[in-house]
Structure 1
Amino acid sequence: MDRPVPGRRVRRDERRPAGLAPSAAHWFGTDQLGRDILSRVIIGARPALTVSLSVVAIAALVGIPLGAIAGYRGGWVDNVLMRVTEVFQAFPPLLLAMVTVAILGPSLANAGLALAICWWPWYARLVRAEARSLRDRPFVEAARSIGVPAWRILPRHILRNCMTPVLVQATVDVGSVVLAVGSLAFIGLGAQPPSPDWGLMVAEGRGQIFTAWWISTFPGLAIFVTVLGFNLLGDSLRDFFDPRQVKR
């Protein structure tokens, strides 16, 4: 279809028809406003992946140091940090994110910030468990015996050996955050119209699911494929990095 010439007003009969079913001209059809769904699904991948990667990065940057310090130091430091972590884990992540977004205001940025606040305890718990198992290893005890300070032992010997499970967990979490961001947008607490957000697109087409099924189906499939892909990638990384896996 020809693009309208800049400066010329588009006549009503030149506009793209609304609610077209999938065809050779529009592979995913058009929505109730005549917008091409395939284009919106492709463009919607950018904010979904950007926010998801940002949430996982922020959660890891907060949770990994806290977990390493708690696991390596032990004692009252471990007790205090883990009690704080358990307070955040006492609430379902999506419910806590909904409350946080309701306070900050519905937007994609606030949804990402709310999810980051909910996600860091899982990395703290994971790294703490790894650090507790590493602090009594011979190479760590050897470093302590020659006077290496804790601030050098943590990054060189503890964190370096915790990266494999963290990398696997982060890969799987990207898909989980994509689903969580879409869920918040679906209930009106994430991206706002007219943003091409997958969850928002599913919500916009739910009222026409029986008459124009493609409006919600294709954005939902995009979420499904993305979550499945990151889960399969995480499983592959776990099998690759785990030395106990027997390769036949």
Structure 2
Amino acid sequence: MTRPAGGVPPRVLLVEDHEDMRVALVVELEAAGFAVDDAADIAGADEALRGNDYDCVVFDRLLPDGDSVTYVHRRRREGWAAPVLFLTQLDSVADRVAGFGHGGDDYVVKPCDLAVVTARVRALCRRAGRARPSVLRHADLELDCARREARRGGALLTLSHKEFAVLEHLLSRAGTTVTRSELIEHCWDTSTDPMSNVVDKVVSRLRQKLLEPELLHTVRGVGFRLEAGR
């Protein structure tokens, strides 16, 4: 994949338990210009997804610890929005409908040409780069970016401009840890001292306004994570 000079390559997570297939796909995707992380099961995928953002995730359907469709469906209900490609030998119409109906964006049946998978991943990464939902959701929290409105459990929240900006960024990365430096980079100007406590003050006010059950968590020594059910 051709990237602009100095550009960051699209990041892909490949979840495949068949080692030969996984290695071959990693080699193919990296040769095409993607940055690739890989996992062999849902547990490994969950760990990777809770610490990183991906432009596309490729899931084998039947993994040693479950059907990835169930996992994707649960994460979609939590507000996770990364494009997903299911890669599987399950090729019935019902299987395909289940894949799309539970949060999949594309579906490729094995055996398949690795170049086809790469082309599908490239298309999903382009889509991820163009599209950003105007309404962000996580659990019972909803942020309407167009109207600049935030609601928790349907109740309107009164937020300052900075609180809204911080919450918007945290929601866009729900389920992953966001560092203080990243929040400063996205929500403050370049003159802000990264060692100051401005982020902590805004997050503290946000936490009070979001009420219970707690959604906004501090990851000691790292930053913050927006996540339900911890």
TM-score normalised to structure 2 length: 0.27
Q: Which has the higher contact order (CA 8 A, sep 6+)?
A: 1
Between structure 1 and structure 2, the one with the greater Rg is 1
Say which structure is richer in helix. 1
Say which structure is richer in strand. 2
